[in-house]
Amino acid sequence: MQPIRRRIEPGIYERVSPSGERLGLEIAYKDADGKPRRRSVNGNIHAARDELAKARTRRTRYEAEPADPRMTLDAVIDRYEAAHVGDRANTREVYRSAFARIRPALGHKRITTIGRADVRALVGAWSSEGLKANSTLAYYSALRALFNFAREDLDVPVVFPRLKPSELPDPVDDRREHRVLTDAELACVLSACSERSRLYFRTVAVTGCRASEALGLEPRNIGDGTVSFVRQWARGSTMKPLKTHRSKRTIEIPRGLSAELRLAGDSVRCFPRLSHREIGRQWAAALDRVELDGLRPVVHDLRHTHASRLIALGWDPVEIAKRLGDRVETVLRVYSHEFDSRRRGEERRAALESLSGEMATEMATNTPLQTATDGAKVQQIRTHRNTA
């Protein structure tokens, strides 16, 4: 059953369902070609008056009408992808994945009819599927970009139905406890690796690079005691730009490792026979051959292990950030407990050295260390002897 239109004032109507539910406001006008049109309005009577005034202004100026407000979200996605072909490859990949999840749920709906309840249900479905909080927030941002594109580029009168922060997942829930390997544990795991993967994992452990950055190494990136991270090997088995502009860097490595990397692989890649799936299998097989106490480490923990070593050696956050290809803020946030532990260790060490110095001074002057009670007793004995 079609909704009922009830006139409020000339050109402005209220849509009411057959059951009496208010569905919102609508304006009626003619475009520059004299064709009658109707358009839904999000807002109150003042918003409807503003939209009606804009429509009449377009008619007097013979301006073209904005995009059809009945446009579905699928159509908006198609227009968005056609207009944003120049986006960064990583951004296109994230948005493509987001659109693949958005289309089945909301693609058939008109973008003007999508409300907070629809978005809340979609975010809840993603969380129920086990999608991580960071991925959910990235897909939520992609949906918001579609609404902004529809409003600013297609002139569709729509506002993104933003959710409250409490209705969105917290990335803190995704954080996994880092597993920092000791020197003995690292040597044990590397010795358990196959000949095919040992050099790869040793490269990650020595440089602290990301897994995809090591897979993307090319012989031309290897210098005499240096390695340059220029591109990464993506999961689609293609070379792609690095995660951020900070990730592009040249760092120092042992000369023996650089010589091995130059001899490994072929003329294109240093690790041509390895992929993301293969290194996962190789790492799991190596861990199955050794017995490690505590949390089972993942490949990315080699990066955290390297950063912990640098902190223990006294590197400052700026130097560590440059070597890891991260922001200083990220290094301070992720490894704050490591810096705090090192600072407390230095303070304790300084206190112990100060105490040792005091003890050495007392021993050199043959003056025994006394407590307050012992000192009082000695003073009483001296006074008694003087009196006698």
Instruction: Please indicate, yes or no, whether the overall pTM of this predicted structure exceeds 0.85.
Output: no
Amino acid at 140: Y
Give the residue with greater pLDDT, 338 vs 144: 144
Give the residue with greater pLDDT, 367 vs 184: 184
Alpha helix segments (H runs only) across the chain: 45-60, 73-83, 89-106, 116-128, 133-152, 183-192, 198-207, 211-215, 255-263, 276-289, 301-312, 317-324, 328-334, 336-364, 372-387
Is there a contact between 112 and 157 (Cβ–Cβ < 8 Å)? yes
Per cent of the chain over pLDDT 70 is: 84
CA 214/CA 355 separation, integer angstroms: 48
Residue ranges of domains in the chain: 4-60, 73-174, 183-337
pLDDT over threshold 90, residue 285? yes
What is the β-pairing status of strands 226-229 and 239-241? unpaired
Question: Is domain 73-174 annotated with CATH 1.10.10.10?
Answer: no
Provide the 3-class DSSP secondary structure of residue 41. strand
Give the residue with greater pLDDT, 174 vs 111: 111
pLDDT tens digits for range 338-384: 776 666 666 666 777 776 666 666 666 655 544 444 555 545 545 55
List the structure tokens of 166.
């409490």
Instruction: Report, as an integer, the average pLDDT of 63-89.
Output: 79
pLDDT over threshold 60, residue 325? yes
Provide the 3-class DSSP secondary structure of residue 240. strand
How far lies 198's CA from each of 141, 261, 282, in Å? 39, 12, 9
Handedness of CA 290, 295, 301, 305 (dihedral sign): negative
Please state, rounded to an integer, the average pLDDT across all residues of the chain: 84
CATH (one of 3.30.70.1560, 1.10.443.10, 3.40.50.300, 3.40.50.2000) for 183-337: 1.10.443.10
pLDDT tens digits for range 187-246: 999 999 998 899 999 999 999 999 999 999 999 999 999 999 999 998 778 888 887 888
pLDDT tens digits for range 91-113: 788 899 999 999 999 999 999 88
